[in-house]
Structure 1
Amino acid sequence: MFKIDALGKACPLPVIETKKALREHAVVETLVDNEIATQNLKKMAEQLGYIYQMEQQAENKYVVVISKANTELINETPELSTAPVKNVADVDSYIVVIDTNVMGRGSDELGKNLLKGFIYSLTEQDILPNKIIFYNGGVHSVAKGSDSLEDLVGLAEQGVEIYACGACLNFYDLTSAVGEVTNMYRIVEMMRQASKIVKP
């Protein structure tokens, strides 16, 4: 069994590290310190069609075991309770549009961290988006000095097309450091032709 200590690690790192480990190991045990993390791991297991088990060992310590095979998990961790899993859903191509430098409403500080986590999570998806389009305040993410620039460069190197609205860059006096500068007509065209659009 491969073990991961994700205590103190913020979302989505426990999920990402566990998913990576499952590519090479049949059974992965992950330590997390909050119930939300256990729920996120359970959802991941359900999406992948794996077996999920969880045990709370202390107030802020949870042990999650995810296995590719039911027999392996029962043999290694018989004391944990098993939850049913769902079949993996079919996934098709998609594009992502980002129109702000924060994610959600409320705290801007939290929103910036959430957006950074969202873009990082895109790099860890089994199926990458075809395109990522940035407009209005979203163009801050493609500018030099952006916290997400390294992740976006990595996505571009893997074939993801990245576009930034030229008028928006001019408005904010920014220069794009990754991808292609485009116009609103082209943005509308790409969105119209997309089979699925994801917006944080």
Structure 2
Amino acid sequence: MHTVDTKGHLCPEPLIMARNAMKEVKEGEKMLVISDNETSYQNLMSFLSDLGANPVADQKEGQYFIEITKPAETSSGKEGNPEAYCNIPHNMPEDSNYVVVARGANMGEGDEELGSLLIRGYFNALKGMDNLPTHIIMYNGGVKLALKDTDTSESLAELEDKGVSIIVCGTCIDYYQIKEKVSVGRISNMYQIATKLAEAGHVVYL
């Protein structure tokens, strides 16, 4: 049985590890996920249940052993959003809960070529920071940053793997007629975007 040892890791890492490992097994195969703390265990159970993996847990000597079965939904692309299952610690400053908004394919106003270089540099720098945003929201021309074969999409994919939720405006995608070219993030509607902006402790506009 394939085993994923998440001991010593904090959310969303255990969820990401479990999700990635699930890609390596076939539909209907069983997998074991091990955790060593109550919070990660609870988050894993909620996450895996929502994926349809039917988690069955057992606790021994302070460790949690969760047996799951890979569902058909996961193999067809239903992967879930690990970050959404993690609560921000109560002692974390409110401004640490921040959202980044890309309103265009360039950063700032002025020369477009310079703005393109700046926004690529920003996302490259962001993925190396300790204090990552909870969400990156892209609308209007910003949705083009998520297109396949772009430098920004590669950086955004790395940030998504680290637990940052990438949200792409569906209306904007339809307007530019580029839906089939989007390679990263979750296509969403304006109500959900407005909700995430309202919930954020701080918003960084590019």
TM-score if structure 1 supplies the norm length? Answer: 0.54
Offset of 1:179 from its aligned partner? 1.4
Instruction: Give yes or no for the alignment of 1:136 onto 2:106.
Output: no
Partner of 1:118: 122
Partner of 1:104: 108
- State how far apart, in whole Å, the 2-side matches of 1:91 and 1:190 are: 14
Classify the secondary structure of the residue corresponding to 1:124: coil
Identity, % of aligned pairs?
38
Task: Find the partner of 1:159 among 151, 163, 171.
Answer: 163
8 Å Cα contact 2:94-2:201 kept in structure 1: no
Show the 5 A alignment for 1:29-178: 92-175=96-179, 176-178=182-184
- State how far apart, in whole Å, the 2-side matches of 1:192 and 1:91 are: 13
* 1:90–1:184 CA distance, 2 compared to 1 (3 A): closer
Larger Rg: 1
Partner of 2:201: 195
Partner of 2:190: 184
- State how far apart, in whole Å, the 2-side matches of 1:115 and 1:174 are: 20
* 1:195–1:145 CA distance, 2 compared to 1 (3 A): same
Classify the secondary structure of the residue corresponding to 1:148: helix
8 Å Cα contact 2:95-2:201 kept in structure 1: no
How many residues end up aligned between the 2 structures? 112
**Greater RCO structure (CA 8 Å; 6+ sep):** 2
Q: Which amino acid aligns with 2:187?
A: V
- State how far apart, in whole Å, the 2-side matches of 1:91 and 1:195 are: 5
Offset of 1:90 from its aligned partner? 9.4
Q: Which amino acid aligns with 1:155?
A: L
Show the 5 A alignment for 1:7-22: none
Classify the secondary structure of the residue corresponding to 1:162: strand
Partner of 2:18: none
* 1:136–1:90 CA distance, 2 compared to 1 (3 A): closer
Mark the runs of 5 or more structure 1 residues left unpaired by the alignment.
Answer: 1-88
- State how far apart, in whole Å, the 1-side matches of 2:105 and 2:153 are: 13
Partner of 1:48: none
- State how far apart, in whole Å, the 1-side matches of 2:176 and 2:150 are: 14
Offset of 1:91 from its aligned partner? 6.0
TM-score if structure 2 supplies the norm length? Answer: 0.52
Displaced runs of 4 or more, over 3 A: none
* 1:90–1:169 CA distance, 2 compared to 1 (3 A): closer
8 Å Cα contact 2:95-2:202 kept in structure 1: no
Q: Which amino acid aligns with 1:112?
A: S
